[in-house]
């Protein structure tokens, strides 16, 4: 999968949907932005800072977080431990080996509060691998939120979730802080048009169009190339 | 919110069974004074297995060359004593530091690889060091072993006697101290980060964690502990043979940890007891074939108790309560 000639600006607080047929390069784009892939050319700027040369973990520290299309969690950690891990990392405590975990009450409470805000409170003390699939999808988001991102990239957050639950999941996402810039990949057009304030259409590694849902819905090129052919490519 | 911290506290609190276990380690002094040398060897092997548990059980680094650091510690302590530095405690410290530095130096390569490549890499490093020690016979004594190691009495009070009571007391105290440190590490934020790496190395950078820095650190700590174990062996036996660096030692400690149960701190200790006692008994009966029984035990444990003997026990206890 390739992505080229991408020119994209994400202003603060906007909720973007990134759509396009399978193989259009949507996940590749997220991998490029987060540093999991290196671009051959071009630059990536976060706020005022050029982050093109930074490692993925350093980019996260700068406020750029992502989730994964396929659950990429910590199977034998509890939900609380997983989120606390991310909070402790953000606060710079992960190097500390002489103080026991319960001493970090602030971090643990924050992890707990994040789980609470996503309705995962009941899952706190259970191992991740024992959680229901939908809960695991939410935990994906909880982990990203624990890094306190300015920009959040969600790779098909509702992948594999039944339709009625996916609306719930997106309701939780749209309830997140308005300061947060969100870009999500999603195939369900009902969801896209309901939750996105702007839509980016990718086809064959290039951005075909971007604009408000109305503009995209009316764009003849998009209708022809993408929407007309069926949503799932 | 209150309950979250309390829940974590409950997970790490010192259990009564642990007190019982450590009290039992004192039994050889009264119940089996003829076996104190063996008990001392067990304590040393347990420390070595504990050090492997830190990298394998908690950070997911599979190593077939962990004897490298054990050997560096053993030769350092042995050479120090041979050349006049026979004070055991400072010798132990220096050996640990040198093994740790070796671990830190090699960790830069180790953390770049995973899975099969990692196993081959650790194996290669182990073989490298073994042959280096073998060929440097002017320093190490080569295949004849290092002779003339004289250790001063512990704290200038307790001589290392033939029965091994000083040796066992010394090894046991060092093991216990290292165990407490390891326990501290795994229950810290750093320990949680290690478990995170073990559980999903791919996710760690995505939550802002510099996995490689964490891995380098734990690898160096484990090398220190392995070096301390090696130094203990050199000091309590007053000799160092090439065997301390051998592939066999690396493989044995891996087997011990897998048998006992990795990622549980006590797994390596339990494994060391079982393995060493079994070797002592079986090799007495049938010296050539005793690995047959170890092989059988290993196959049985891996097939029926994938989390080791301790993992099996924990599951059994969970079910029965």
Residue A40: strand, helix, or coil:
coil
Among all residues of chain A, which has the CA nearest to that of B205?
A57
Alpha carbons B47 and B221: distance in angstroms, whole number: 13
* Domain assignment of residue B180, yes or no: yes
Min Cα–Cα distance to chain B from A117, Å = 13
Question: Best residue in B8, B224, B307 to probe A by mutation, most A CBs within 10 Å?
Answer: B8
B contacts of A109 (beta carbons < 8 Å): 1, 4-5
Q: Write the pLDDT tens digit of every residue in A48-82.
A: 888 888 899 999 999 999 999 999 999 999 999 99
Report the gap between the CA of B186 and the closest CA in chain A (Å).
Answer: 8
The distance in angstroms from the start CA to the end CA of chain A is 15
Of B5, B12, B188, the CB nearest to A105: B5
CB contact under 8 A, A100 and B209: no
Of the candidates A68, A72, A104, the beta carbon closest to that of B189 is on A104
How far B119 CA lies from chain A's nearest CA (Å)?
23
**A147-174, pLDDT tens digit by residue?**
999 999 999 998 888 888 888 888 888 8
Q: Report the C-alpha gap between A134 and A169 in whole angstroms.
A: 9
Residue B66, domain member (yes or no): yes
Contacts of B5 in chain A (CB under 8 A): 102, 105, 108-109
* Burial label, B95 (beta-carbon count in 10 A; 0-12, 13-18, 19+): buried
Query: CA–CA separation, A153 vs A16, rounded Å?
Result: 9
Smallest Cβ distance to B4: which of A65, A73, A112? A112
Q: What is the pLDDT of residues B59-88, one digit of tens each?
A: 989 999 999 999 999 999 999 999 988 899
What are the Cα distances from residue A39, in Å, to A16, A155, B194, B259? 22, 19, 30, 46
Max CA distance (Å), chain B: 64
Give B280 to chain A, closest Cα distance, Å.
Answer: 37
Expressed as residue numbers, the domain containing B193 is 2-246
Question: Cα separation of B79 and B73, whole Å?
Answer: 10
Among partner residues A77, A113, A147, which is closest to B208 by beta-carbon distance?
A147
- Residue B61 in domain: yes
User: Residue B283: inside a domain, yes or no?
Assistant: no
Angle at B156 (CA atoms; ends B154, B159), nearest 5 degrees: 55
Tell me the mean pLDDT in the region A84-91.
94
Return the residue in A61, A70, A102 with the most chain B beta carbons within 10 A, the one to mutate for interface testing. A102
- Nearest Cα of chain A lies from the Cα of B222 at a distance, in angstroms, of 13
Which chain A residues touch B7 with a CB distance below 8 Å? 80, 124-125
Residue B195 maps to a domain:
yes
Task: Please report whether residue B299 resides in a domain.
Answer: no
**CB atoms inside a 10 Å sphere around CB B63:** 25
Total domains in the fold of chain B: 1
> With a cut of 0.95, is the ipTM above it?
no
Could you say which of A96, A105, A125 has the minimum Cβ distance to residue B189? A96
Residue A155 in contact with partner chain B when CB distance is under 8 A:
no
Q: Does A96 touch chain B (CB under 8 A)?
A: yes
pLDDT classification of A128: cutoffs 50, 70, 90: very high
Helices (H), B33-114: 36-53, 67-82, 88-110
Interface test with A, best of B6, B60, B192, B311 (most A CBs within 10 A): B192
Residue B320 included in any domain: no
Q: Which residue do the tokens 């060391």 mark? A: B272
3-class secondary structure, A37: coil
Say yes or no for a CB contact (<8 Å) between B196 and A104: no
B211: CB partners within 8 A, 6+ apart: A57, B111, B197, B201, B204, B205
Mean per-residue pLDDT over chain B, rounded: 90
**Each residue's pLDDT tens digit in chain B (321 positions)?**
557 777 778 888 898 989 999 999 999 988 888 889 999 999 999 999 999 999 999 998 999 999 999 999 999 999 999 998 889 999 999 999 999 999 999 999 998 988 899 999 999 999 999 999 999 888 888 888 888 888 888 787 788 787 788 999 999 999 999 999 999 999 999 999 999 999 998 899 999 998 899 999 999 999 999 999 999 999 999 899 999 999 999 999 999 999 999 999 999 999 999 999 888 887 777 767 778 888 888 899 889 988 888 888 888 887 766
């Amino acid at each position: 999968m390739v992505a080229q000639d991408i020119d994209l600006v994400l202003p603060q607080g906007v909720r973007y949907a990134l759509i396009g047929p399978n193989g259009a390069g949507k996940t590749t784009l997220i991998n490029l932005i987060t540093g999991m892939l290196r671009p051959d050319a071009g630059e990536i700027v976060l706020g005022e800072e050029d982050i093109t040369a930074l490692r993925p973990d350093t980019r996260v520290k700068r406020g750029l977080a992502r989730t994964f299309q396929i659950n990429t969690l910590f199977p034998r950690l509890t939900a609380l431990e997983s989120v606390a891990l991310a909070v402790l990392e953000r606060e710079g405590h992960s190097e500390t080996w002489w103080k026991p975990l319960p001493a970090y009450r602030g971090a643990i409470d924050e992890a707990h509060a994040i789980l609470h805000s996503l309705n995962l409170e009941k899952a706190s003390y259970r191992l991740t691998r024992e959680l229901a699939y939908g809960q695991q999808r939410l935990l994906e988001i909880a982990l990203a939120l624990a890094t306190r991102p300015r920009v959040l990239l969600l790779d098909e957050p509702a992948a594999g979730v039944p339709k009625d639950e996916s609306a719930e999941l997106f309701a939780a996402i749209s309830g997140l802080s308005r300061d947060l810039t969100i870009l999500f990949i999603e195939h369900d057009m009902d969801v896209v048009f309901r939750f996105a304030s702007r839509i980016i259409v990718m086809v064959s590694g290039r951005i075909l169009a971007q604009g408000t849902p109305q503009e995209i819905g009316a764009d003849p090129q998009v209708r022809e190339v993408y929407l007309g052919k069926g949503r799932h490519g | 919110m209150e309950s979250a911290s309390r829940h974590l506290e409950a997970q790490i609190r010192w259990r009564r069974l642990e007190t019982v276990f450590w009290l039992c380690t004192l039994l050889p002094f009264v119940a089996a004074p003829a076996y104190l040398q063996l008990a001392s060897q067990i304590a040393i092997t347990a420390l070595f297995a504990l050090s492997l548990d830190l990298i394998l059980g908690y950070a997911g680094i599979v190593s077939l060359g962990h004897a490298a650091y054990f050997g560096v510690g053993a030769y350092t302590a042995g050479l120090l004593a041979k050349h006049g530095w026979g004070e055991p405690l400072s010798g132990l410290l220096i050996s640990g530091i040198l093994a740790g530095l070796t671990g830190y130096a090699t960790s830069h390569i180790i953390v770049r690889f995973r899975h099969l490549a990692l196993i081959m890499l650790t194996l290669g490093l182990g073989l490298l060091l073994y042959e280096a020690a073998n060929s440097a016979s002017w320093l190490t004594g080569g295949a004849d072993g290092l002779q003339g190691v004289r250790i001063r009495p512990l704290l200038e009070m307790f001589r290392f006697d033939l029965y091994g009571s000083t040796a066992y007391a010394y090894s046991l105290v060092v093991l216990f101290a290292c165990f407490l440190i390891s326990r501290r590490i795994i229950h810290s934020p750093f320990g949680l980060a290690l478990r995170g790496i073990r559980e999903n190395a791919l996710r760690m950078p995505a939550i802002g964690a510099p996995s490689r820095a964490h891995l380098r650190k734990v690898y160096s700590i484990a090398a220190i502990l392995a070096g301390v174990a090696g130094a203990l062996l050199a000091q309590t036996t007053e000799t160092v043979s090439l065997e301390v660096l051998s592939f066999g030692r690396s493989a044995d400690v891996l087997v011990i940890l897998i048998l006992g149960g990795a990622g549980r701190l006590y797994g390596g200790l339990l494994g060391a007891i079982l393995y060493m006692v079994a070797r002592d008994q079986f090799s007495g009966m049938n010296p050539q074939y005793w690995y047959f029984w170890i092989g059988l035990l290993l196959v049985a444990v891996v097939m029926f108790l994938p989390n080791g003997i301790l993992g099996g026990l924990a599951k059994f206890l969970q079910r029965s309560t």
